Amino acid sequence: MNNIIRLSIVLTLITAIAAFVLAEIYRITKPQIELQKKAKTLQALQIVMPSAKLIVPVERKVDVKDNKGNVLYRKSVVEYYKGFANPDTTGLVGYAFEAYGSGYSSVVETMVGVDTTGKIGKIKIISQKETPGLGARCVENEPFTGKKWTTEQFVGKGISELKVDKDGGPIVSITGATITSRAVTNSIREKLKTFLAKIKPEHKITAEDSE
């Protein structure tokens, strides 16, 4: 009995010290990490909409409720981004949104550019924690000759074309990492579907191949 108490005290002390140190470092690094994340989003936006001079986020208010259903406050969430060719919000060049797909070992986050006709423009993978050397290759272009995965292959694709080759579509998947390729492709397809449904009434997007 005495022994168990002694072991508990030693282990509790060690974990308490570790928890304290980690909490402090988290507090110090958190604002900096968030800053880096914002810079990364901005960079990704510029990659997927290279011709846009001005990028405007389109936000939606979401109610944050407590467990009794009372509205505590309203939070604004970025739904998608609009890119304009001129700084005075004229000359719409396209849209961008973030897509999230569950991959093999992480959530793959992709910034997706959409042109004014509802086709995919450039895409950029913002964050992923897939298997190094396999799924993690989704961010790059595979160095192999012949059929290969590249983020460029999404350019100009519509909803019905967003399928990997294993599912009968035209998207070439990463060698040895079909799950990751599927996660990227399917998340973009699903998000594009809801995005086009939302945007159609407001704008004259012609998505002739909506399923």
Residues forming the site for other proteins (CB under 8 A): 3, 6-7, 10-11, 14-15, 18, 21-22, 25-26, 29-30, 32-33, 36, 39-40, 128-134, 136, 143-145, 175-176
Q: How far apart are CA 195 and CA 1, in angstroms?
A: 62
Closest to 113 in 3D by CA, of 136, 86, 94: 94
Q: For other proteins, which is the closer residue by CB, 28 or 64?
A: 28
Q: How far is the CB of 39 from other proteins (least distance, A)?
A: 8
Q: Closest separation between CB of residue 198 and other proteins, Å?
A: 32
For the CB of residue 32, give the shortest distance to other proteins in the complex, in Å.
4
User: Which lies closer to other proteins via its Cβ, residue 43 or residue 206?
Assistant: 43
Q: Containing H/E element for 82?
A: strand 71-84
Half-sphere exposure of 43 (CA within 13 A, CB side): 9
Which is nearer to other proteins, 42 or 197 (by Cβ)?
42
The helix/strand/coil state of 200 is coil
For other proteins, which is the closer residue by CB, 9 or 197? 9
Least distance from other proteins to the Cβ atom of residue 149, Å: 13
Geometric angle at alpha carbon 15, from 11 and 17, rounded to 5°: 120
Q: Integer distance in angstroms from the first to the last C-alpha of the chain?
A: 68
Which one, 115 or 130, has the nearer CB to other proteins?
130
Q: How far is the CB of 141 from other proteins (least distance, A)?
A: 12
Q: With CA atoms as reference, report the closest residue to 192 among 92, 101, 104, 128.
A: 101
